[in-house]
Structure 1
Amino acid sequence: MTDPSIADPGIADPDGTAPIIEFADLRRSFVVRAKSGRLRRSKRVVHAVDGISARIAAGESVGYIGANGAGKSTTIKMITGVLVPTSGSVRTCGMTPVPQRRELARQVGVVFGQRSQLWWDLPLQDSFRILAAIHGLPAGDAAERIAALVAELELGRLLDTPVRQLSLGERMRGEVAAALVHRPRLLVLDEPTIGLDVLSKERLRQFLIAERERANMTLLLTTHDMSDIERLCERVLVVDRGRLAYDGTLPDLARLVALRRVLVVDLIEPHPPLHIPGVEHIGSELDGLRQRFAFAPETTTAAQVLAAVGVQAEVRDLTLEEPDIEDIVATLYRMPH
């Protein structure tokens, strides 16, 4: 159910500028071999990306989401020149990624949540200096840029610390700074907040919002954390089994799939099940100390539900559960095309 409003790649955006990312009928297949008996081997073709087309304009902030194995990382590797497409076309910052990978690297910053671009045994500041030299930044410009990133990401006290001694949250801030040293036009983030605590996530999000506004930078984000998408992205692409299932805004997606949020409240004292108009009570635990409420975000908010709970009982703590990306994708594909 790909959005028919997606325009053909290669056409300039309304302001006359070329898209930062454009791909048309993009495909990437892999041959998987397995034993099928003592002597024989079988093989099958897996279509990791199966004919997707989209265009991302300069300055956009786009979430690229889907279940594990949906084709997100494979797409990013083709966009950044790590993988050659099996067929179709892709252009990033006006370049063909694989043959122009060296030139493209000067325009793109990439952060992979599971991989590091920092030198593990060197102090953090050495990684920044090495990356600035690799990108050919003049010494004065590099020092100024690094100092600004260090201040904004609160890395000053960590500069002399070897990367291997940093916490996950500290290292991720270092990874983002490293990806931005050369002032890229496009920042690609692949699961950047995975494993981070709530405070580290929010600090990183606030920095990315400010940096994007300052530099008119394009952001492409893959994540399983819907809060990342809500805070950072204006547009969402949903991919499943290598195909594009949705292209639009997050509020429109929420209305389309009609998935509910769940508010979990911990009360000061046990209480019988609370009844709130328009909200479903979906369970109690610990003799009513913890109660769960499901609500539709298009008709009410978590704050309104919490206020209604507070009228009837005193709240000690709360948790807001977002719908899983897997549930969003599954709901999309159950809907009639």
Structure 2
Amino acid sequence: MLSIEAHGLTKEFKVYQSRPGLTGAFRDLLNRKYRTIRAVDSIDLRIGKGEMVGYIGENGAGKSTTIKMLTGILQPTAGELKVNGYDPHRQREEFVKTIGVVFGQRSQLWWDIAVQESFRLLQKVYRIPAEEHQKHLDRMIEVLDISSLLDQPVRKLSLGQRMRCELAASLIHRPSLLFLDEPTIGLDVLVKENIRRFLKEINREFGTTILLTTHDLSDIEALCSRVVMLDQGKIIYDGGLAQLRNLWGGGKKIHLEMEKEVLIADLQGRTDGLSVSWEQKGPRQYTVHVQNGETTVSEVLSRLVQHVPIQEMQIEEATTEEIVRKIYSEGMTIA
């Protein structure tokens, strides 16, 4: 069964267009002009139960609009949408019991009351039996290390402390699908790592499906094997991170420092027939560029190590962030 199934999902907005000058302002009072913007343009999206998927795109690409349709906040202009088997907008009361949502810039906790009181209120909202609620909550308190925060008002928590409490609140009713929008924004490295470890654990233990929207691609690399890229309201890539690197990573670089200077012609001769190119960086420093999908690093090294005196070696490949930046800056279509 699919957690999310969307076909031709589209959202349009009518935007007021003002005319210039004082005359234009008077004309706008009597006869306003509008234009239609298509924020999400007929996308198809299928996410299976238990998947952890990264949903990325530049500002204005349509990510937030998509999430709002998937969570039932906005009604699609066109297309078909089922999330956990429900129509998110029309069956909202039943649907919201099956999802959890964490927005990095918005809080679902009550600002002026203690964290544990927010948890109690959420228990009542979701009508969770007391015994079942306490057992599950105790586990999350332990894993997220928030026991010392329970008596504090939310407004007194640091950002990292609040985000850990937000995660506990979003999972208090054991949702099968969790939406995360910038969950680690502004957090330090240690807090990020703790949150990522927790998300992996709930995915493994409960089979929770996670859809992660973020500008921090290190979150995607740490959590997701699949990424969906959006540009101008359209999906331009839907696949694995490894495949994305193979297609658009530009290959790998092997940086070598030799014990003594070697003629570059000798190095080229050792790797003859492989899809590589050589570059000399210094008296004993060389870089070999390896093309993706045609030659492997191990093939190159097996040709060299027995015959060339290598002192140090470093393998470099493009990061996911560099690849994504290149795709958007060059306007590539990779779907």
State the TM-score, normalized to the length of structure 1.
Answer: 0.77
Map of 1:52 onto structure 2: 43
**1:29 matched to 2:12:** yes
> Does structure 2 conserve the Cα–Cα contact (< 8 Å) formed by 1:28 and 1:47?
yes
- Deviation at residue 327 of structure 1 after TM alignment: 1.2
Give distance in 1, aligned partners of 2:74 and 2:333. 33
Map of 2:243 onto structure 1: 252
- Deviation at residue 219 of structure 1 after TM alignment: 0.7
Match of 1:219, SS? strand
Match of 1:204, SS? helix
Match of 1:36, SS? coil
Change in 2 beyond 3 A, CA 1:191/1:329: farther
Superposed CA deviations along residues 216-237 of structure 1, whole A, max 9, x for unmatched, are: 1111111111111111112111
Match of 2:69, SS? helix
Give distance in 2, aligned partners of 1:88 and 1:335. 23
Give distance in 2, aligned partners of 1:64 and 1:26. 15
Give distance in 2, aligned partners of 1:156 and 1:321. 37
> Does structure 1 conserve the Cα–Cα contact (< 8 Å) formed by 2:236 and 2:333?
no
> Does structure 1 conserve the Cα–Cα contact (< 8 Å) formed by 2:6 and 2:43?
yes
The equivalent position to 2:62 in structure 1, one of 65, 71, 82, is 71
Structure with greater proportional helix content = 2
The residue correspondences of 1:227-238 to structure 2 (distance < 5 A) are 227-238=218-229
Change in 2 beyond 3 A, CA 1:279/1:203: farther
> Does structure 2 conserve the Cα–Cα contact (< 8 Å) formed by 1:129 and 1:142?
no
- Deviation at residue 136 of structure 1 after TM alignment: 0.6
Map of 1:278 onto structure 2: 288
Map of 2:303 onto structure 1: none
The equivalent position to 2:136 in structure 1, one of 142, 145, 160, is 145
- Deviation at residue 329 of structure 1 after TM alignment: 3.9
**1:128 matched to 2:119:** yes
Match of 2:203, SS? helix
Structure 2 residues without counterparts, runs of 5 or longer:
254-280, 298-310, 313-317
Match of 2:145, SS? coil
Give distance in 2, aligned partners of 1:247 and 1:321. 18
Match of 1:208, SS? helix
Question: Aligned Cα RMSD in Å?
Answer: 2.9
The residue correspondences of 1:171-250 to structure 2 (distance < 5 A) are 171-250=162-241
> Does structure 1 conserve the Cα–Cα contact (< 8 Å) formed by 2:245 and 2:320?
no
Change in 2 beyond 3 A, CA 1:260/1:34: farther
Structure 1 residues without counterparts, runs of 5 or longer:
1-17, 263-271, 281-294, 301-310, 313-319
Match of 1:323, SS? helix
Change in 2 beyond 3 A, CA 1:220/1:336: closer
> Does structure 1 conserve the Cα–Cα contact (< 8 Å) formed by 2:245 and 2:323?
no
Superposed CA deviations along residues 144-196 of structure 1, whole A, max 9, x for unmatched, are: 11111110100011111111111111111111110000000001101111111
How many residues align? The count is 283
- % identity of equivalent residues: 45
Give distance in 1, aligned partners of 2:106 and 2:34. 30
